[in-house]
């Protein structure tokens, strides 16, 4: 029989200074994430997903500079992604999906040079994809669908040569598909539907030799299907 805990996260957790991992997912926790968790500077992983947590992510999260996994999905978190997130240079997985996070993706995200999986879908995020994303060369999955992200797909996306899954559908993306997309030869899924993308499909699409799923309906794309496909 599975036992689930309820109530709020006690502030006394902030005294566990030698803690390496805190995993309290899939419970009935409510209230905000205590600021004192920022004291746990030896923490490698923080798993809080699938609870009823509210409030915003505090700037104190930036104190956890040894963090490799940060997973706060499936809660009721509000407010923006704090700029201090850029201090977490060892972070490998960053899951914030299924919350009510707003504001834009901070350009400090480009400091997370160890990041492999970045999932922020099903939120209320606005603004463009920052150009600093070019630094995330280890990134394999990027899920930011079901938001209100706008602006162009930056040409710097071609730097992310380890991409396997790129899903940015159901946003307000404009402009063309950049030619640099042809650098992503490991890409397997590429979902762009329900945006306002225009221009033609670049011939460099033919470089994506591992592509299995390519979906671009409900855009403003013109021109022919390139022969390189």
| Structure tokens that stand for 145 in this block | 């669908």
Q: What is the pLDDT of residue 3?
A: 72
pLDDT for residue 135 is more than 90: yes
The CA distance from 126 to 45, in Å, is 28
Question: pLDDT tens digits, residue range 207-221?
Answer: 999 999 999 999 999
Dmax (CA) for the chain in angstroms is 63
Task: State percent of the chain over pLDDT 70.
Answer: 99
Q: What is the pLDDT of residue 199?
A: 96
Chain centroid to CA 175: 21
Question: Could you give the 3-state DSSP secondary structure of residue 39?
Answer: helix
Average pLDDT on 95-122 reads 98
Read off φ and ψ for residue 85, nearest 5 degrees.
-60, -25
Q: What is the pLDDT of residue 173?
A: 98
CA 86-92-96 angle, to 5 degrees, is 70
Q: What is the CATH number of domain 6-221?
A: 3.80.10.10
Q: What is the pLDDT of residue 1?
A: 57
pLDDT for residue 144 is more than 60: yes
Q: What is the pLDDT of residue 4?
A: 82
The beta-strand segments (E) located in the chain are: 6-8, 21-23, 28-31, 45-47, 52-53, 69-71, 78-79, 93-95, 100-101, 117-119, 126-127, 141-143, 148-151, 165-167, 172-175, 189-191, 196-199, 213-215, 220-221
| Structure tokens that stand for 122 in this block | 């099903």
pLDDT for residue 11 is more than 80: yes
pTM here is 0.94
């Amino acid at each position: 029989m599975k036992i689930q805990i309820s109530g709020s996260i006690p502030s006394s957790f902030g005294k566990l200074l030698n803690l390496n991992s805190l995993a309290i997912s899939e419970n009935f926790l409510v209230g905000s994430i205590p600021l004192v968790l920022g004291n746990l500077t030896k923490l490698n992983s923080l798993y809080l997903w699938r609870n009823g947590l509210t409030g915003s992510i505090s700037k104190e999260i930036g104190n956890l500079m040894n963090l490799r996994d940060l997973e706060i999905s499936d809660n009721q978190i509000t407010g923006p992604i704090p700029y201090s997130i850029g201090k977490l240079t060892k972070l490998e997985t960053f899951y914030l999906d299924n919350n009510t996070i707003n504001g834009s993706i901070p350009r400090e995200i480009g400091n997370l040079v160890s990041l492999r999986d970045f999932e922020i879908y099903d939120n209320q995020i606005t603004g463009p994809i920052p150009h600093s994303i070019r630094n995330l060369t280890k990134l394999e999955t990027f899920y930011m669908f079901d938001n209100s992200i706008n602006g162009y797909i930056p040409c710097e996306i071609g730097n992310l040569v380890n991409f396997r899954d790129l899903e940015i559908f159901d946003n307000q993306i404009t402009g063309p598909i950049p030619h640099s997309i042809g650098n992503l030869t490991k890409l397997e899924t590429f979902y762009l539907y329900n945006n306002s993308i225009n221009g033609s499909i670049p011939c460099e699409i033919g470089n994506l030799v591992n592509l299995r799923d390519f979906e671009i309906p409900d855009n403003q794309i013109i021109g022919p299907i390139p022969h390189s496909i």
